[in-house]
Structure 1
Amino acid sequence: MIRLCLAALGALAFLAAAPAPARAAAEVQEVVSPGGIRAWLVREPALPMVAFEIIFEGGALRDPDELPGAANFLAAMLSEGAGDLDAAAFARKAETLALRAGFSAGRDSFTVSARMLTENLDESVNLLRLALTEPRFDPDAVERVRAGILSGLRSARTDPDSLAAMAWSAAMFPGDPYGRPVEGDEAAVARIGPEDLRAARRRALNRSRLAVGVVGDIDAQTLGPLLDRLLGALPDDPWTPPPPARPARQRGTTVVPLDTPQSRAVLGHEGLLRSDPDFIPAYVMNHILGGGGFSSRLMREVREKRGLTYGVYSYLAPYRRAGLIMAGLASDNARMAEALEVIRAEWARMAREGATAEELEAAKRYLTGAYPLRFDTNAKIAGQLAGLMREGFDPGYLRRRNALIEAVTLDDIRRVAARLLHPERLRTVVVGRPEGLPPGPPIPGFTDAER
């Protein structure tokens, strides 16, 4: 019965008329709890539920150099028992309350996502608080989670997609936290114990840099004290992120050998931070270049005209300490070298010529039209609120965003493309047995033996 109720609730949440961006912006309330915790709230009483998105700054960036993967391990452990509830009892309690809670570690953040029924709000908050403040880290649960993480790491060593991403990061950011997988490595994961997880909790769940989005059947007067109950007991230790990451100067292509009929390539170079005034024009430009699916130049030139791949893409990756522009594709071993040359040529053509009026109009139409889809559930709205709050925006950005897209001109595209796109700076990693590509420069700290 509980599972059926959850499924029905999820369907109703999807079908309900959630606030559109402009309406959401008008309805955002900035709530400050009695204890000083800030949150953005959109009250939506149409459904008897509340969605929370809580983003803590740091994530894997705060892992000790000797224990990469600690934050990721912690995320997997927070639903494995807390207080006087072991893993099985915690799961039963969450199911009884219809509480959905998830925890995840990213390169720069640690995220808690939760959905709960209004009628069970107090009990659900208490259970979530218990997970955040009193996780058990029982030995059997630690070993079970460790086994799952290690299995995933071993699988990644033979998966071309995972291997290419790991190798590219290691090549671009040697010796930096950005250069290592969020999941860590097998040696470090094998060493992580309960005390390490307790230390990881104190680092990861630090509310000194916190963003909270809340959407649903709750008012500001109720939310304020509830935030203190949920988060007030967490550490509030001042923390300053490390300085900007310094990408490696060495560029070019490196081949990581792997016996597979298709090669997988990841390529990219420095991009823009989210706070850069040119980010929106760059976002539109990238949609035209490779972010727009079948309408993008890369898809048209690499797939449709030459049949070199099933799919090719580009995207902006604005991390906190470095902005990147990335691309990727899979292609037959015999044709990967040609596919990479076409991508570099399109990179250069966009930098040289910019976009056409037709391309710009189509990009604007898609990007403004698709924006409301980010707001079609309470959980998505909460995620948008927390994400914008974390980036330092005000709630009015929700209303202004489409106007910023519409204001981008052809001159903006040309200027930003010339500033951003530099094919000679591309760092490329290919996993497979591509024909016609020499091995290239080695990747520090990433050898065949380690794989």
Structure 2
Amino acid sequence: MIRYVMAFVAVCVALPAWAEVKIKEVTSPGGITAWLVEEPSIPFVALELRFRGGTSLDAPEKRGATNLMVGLLEEGTGDLDAQEFARQSETLAAQFGYDSSADSVSISARFLTENRNDSLALLRMSLVEPSFPEVAIERVRGQVLSGIRSRQKDPGKIAGEHMSALIYGAHPYGTAGEGTLDSVGALTRDDIVAAHQGAMARDRMYVGVVGDVTAEELGPMLDALLGDLPATGTPIPGTAEVTLDGGIEVVEFDTPQSVAVFAQPGIHREDEDFFAAYVLNVVLGGGGFDSRLMTEVRKKRGLTYGVYSYLVLRDHADVYMGSVSSANDRIAQAISVIRDQWALMAEVGATEDEVAKAKALLTGAYPLRFDGNGAIAGIMVGMQVDGMPIDYIATRNDQVNAVTVEDVNRVARELLDPEALTFVVVGKPDGV
């Protein structure tokens, strides 16, 4: 019965309106800072943790250590093995999620108010006291290795990894955070323990909480949950230099359809022209079927089912990227059209109508992100990581609406660099 109650709560809990999200900054007695939205109407709490650094903290010869460590956090803690941990989570109707990326380790928790203390105690054990038993290490290692082998057969993954190597070089971004068959196969339990101590430390931690908890209750709760984590962790890597020469790299792969990714230097989230670039991208390739690239590559010429562009915002580098797939004998034409549209947008710019539609799409879609306490907790953590002000939710759409067509076209001239637009093509492309 409890699982059905939890499922109902997870689906139905949502704040009254996104514009009414009232965030409080809370500092615990132990000095842990969190952003809180109190919502007592339903007895449910969502908690989101983010630790900056992620898989980029791995040494070159230990690539995959952080990813493997995160996969083991719920596989044994204290005197609980994986099965008992899962059984207790289900009994409490608590849901825990553990994930890693190039820039962060993320932890999510959802639990009922009546089970809050027991749920947090169980979560604490997984964060602070993971046991990393050898039997679990070998089981999860096998899963990771299977994923790496699968990735080696996926043209899209291959293209992405080759492009990362081109963009980031020797920086940790240049290699897959999951590691390689050799690096993951060689990891020891000591490596995993070291990755845990290095990645999950209080000096790089961000917290978002939404639900049935008060500011007075939250402070002691955070100290009990997180106060015993290491104070400092592994030094975070520095800036990655983005260098792209505008060429095309072909990776031979036996497939009837080639996959291409393309990239050029991007724009930083804190740049004063970021929102103009955001609108620009919707016009060019981020606006679905109404984007320029989709219109020219798919609708008019039928070269692909989909072509997209997107701003990639990482902690240590900013890149403007895109992707397209097409038959081997048509991918060259698709690349040519993309290059032409990139240059045309830089030279001529967008129209008033295109900018208006892009702004309407961005502002209309934004409230849909606030579809539950968990989503809002995640948004708040992301805001903290990106250094956004606490009132960003209320002002974000105003910043989008303030963008003019002149702003978009000026940024198009300054940002878009057809000469630097670089392609990696995986397949057996003709004429490339």
Q: What range describes the TM-score normalised by the shorter chain of this pair?
A: over 0.9
| Residue equivalent to 2:18 | 21
The aligned runs of 1:80-159 (5 Å cut-off) are: 80-159=75-154
Q: 1:201 to 1:239 in 2, by over 3 A?
A: closer
**SS of equivalent residue, structure 1 residue 355:** coil
| Residue equivalent to 2:11 | 11
* 8 Å CA contact 1:19, 1:375 repeated in 2: no
**Distance in 2 (alpha carbons) for counterparts of 1:350 and 1:19:** 40
1:62 is displaced (CA, Å) by 0.6
1:249 is displaced (CA, Å) by 4.7
1:132 is displaced (CA, Å) by 0.5
Alignment deviations for residues 281-327 of structure 1 (CA, whole Å, 9 cap, x no partner)? 10110011110101111100100000000001000011111101001
Are residues 1:387 and 2:387 paired? no
1:238 is displaced (CA, Å) by 6.5
Decide which of 54, 58, 61 is 2:56's aligned counterpart.
61
Decide which of 311, 326, 330 is 2:325's aligned counterpart.
330
Are residues 1:350 and 2:351 paired? no
Alignment deviations for residues 351-408 of structure 1 (CA, whole Å, 9 cap, x no partner)? 1111100001111111111111111110110011010011111211111100000000
Alignment deviations for residues 218-251 of structure 1 (CA, whole Å, 9 cap, x no partner)? 1001100001111110111176533310123544
* 8 Å CA contact 2:256, 2:327 repeated in 1: yes
* 8 Å CA contact 1:208, 1:236 repeated in 2: yes
* 8 Å CA contact 2:244, 2:265 repeated in 1: no
Are residues 1:43 and 2:38 paired? yes
1:19 is displaced (CA, Å) by 4.2
Alignment deviations for residues 428-451 of structure 1 (CA, whole Å, 9 cap, x no partner)? 1111111111xxxxxxxxxxxxxx
Name the amino acid aligned to 1:412. D
**Structure 1: which 5+ residue stretches go unaligned?**
438-451
**SS of equivalent residue, structure 2 residue 201:** coil
**SS of equivalent residue, structure 2 residue 62:** coil
Are residues 1:423 and 2:418 paired? yes
Name the amino acid aligned to 1:364. K
Alignment deviations for residues 151-177 of structure 1 (CA, whole Å, 9 cap, x no partner)? 000010111111111111012222110
Decide which of 373, 376, 379 is 1:378's aligned counterpart.
373
* TM-score (norm. length: structure 1): 0.94
**Distance in 2 (alpha carbons) for counterparts of 1:415 and 1:10:** 44
* 8 Å CA contact 2:46, 2:374 repeated in 1: yes
**Distance in 2 (alpha carbons) for counterparts of 1:238 and 1:72:** 16
Name the amino acid aligned to 1:297. R
* 8 Å CA contact 1:333, 1:435 repeated in 2: yes
Decide which of 264, 279, 302 is 1:284's aligned counterpart.
279
Are residues 1:312 and 2:312 paired? no
**SS of equivalent residue, structure 2 residue 178:** coil
**Distance in 2 (alpha carbons) for counterparts of 1:315 and 1:250:** 19
Name the amino acid aligned to 1:84. D
Decide which of 293, 303, 311 is 1:298's aligned counterpart.
293
* 8 Å CA contact 1:208, 1:239 repeated in 2: no
Name the amino acid aligned to 1:9. V
Q: 1:340 to 1:290 in 2, by over 3 A?
A: same
| Residue equivalent to 1:446 | none
Name the amino acid aligned to 1:11. V
Decide which of 12, 26, 30 is 1:31's aligned counterpart.
26
**Structure 2: which 5+ residue stretches go unaligned?**
none
Q: 1:115 to 1:390 in 2, by over 3 A?
A: same
* 8 Å CA contact 2:304, 2:325 repeated in 1: yes
| Residue equivalent to 1:445 | none
**Distance in 2 (alpha carbons) for counterparts of 1:268 and 1:249:** 8
* 8 Å CA contact 2:58, 2:65 repeated in 1: yes
**SS of equivalent residue, structure 2 residue 61:** coil
Name the amino acid aligned to 1:373. L
Instruction: Judge which range, 170-179 or 404-413, deviates more.
Output: 170-179
Name the amino acid aligned to 1:326. M
* 8 Å CA contact 1:273, 1:320 repeated in 2: no
Name the amino acid aligned to 2:343. A
**Distance in 1 (alpha carbons) for counterparts of 2:187 and 2:329:** 43
Decide which of 409, 412, 418 is 1:414's aligned counterpart.
409
**Distance in 1 (alpha carbons) for counterparts of 2:101 and 2:300:** 37
* 8 Å CA contact 2:26, 2:35 repeated in 1: yes
**Distance in 2 (alpha carbons) for counterparts of 1:277 and 1:20:** 28
**SS of equivalent residue, structure 1 residue 7:** helix
**SS of equivalent residue, structure 1 residue 306:** coil
Are residues 1:396 and 2:391 paired? yes
Name the amino acid aligned to 2:34. A
**Distance in 2 (alpha carbons) for counterparts of 1:238 and 1:113:** 20
* 8 Å CA contact 1:70, 1:197 repeated in 2: yes
**Distance in 2 (alpha carbons) for counterparts of 1:166 and 1:173:** 10
Decide which of 157, 164, 176 is 2:171's aligned counterpart.
176
**SS of equivalent residue, structure 1 residue 423:** coil
* 8 Å CA contact 1:262, 1:330 repeated in 2: yes
**SS of equivalent residue, structure 2 residue 69:** helix
| Residue equivalent to 1:201 | 196
**Distance in 2 (alpha carbons) for counterparts of 1:226 and 1:360:** 46
**Distance in 1 (alpha carbons) for counterparts of 2:170 and 2:251:** 19
**Distance in 2 (alpha carbons) for counterparts of 1:241 and 1:427:** 28
**Distance in 1 (alpha carbons) for counterparts of 2:244 and 2:356:** 37
Calculate percent identity across the aligned residue pairs. 49
* 8 Å CA contact 1:281, 1:416 repeated in 2: yes
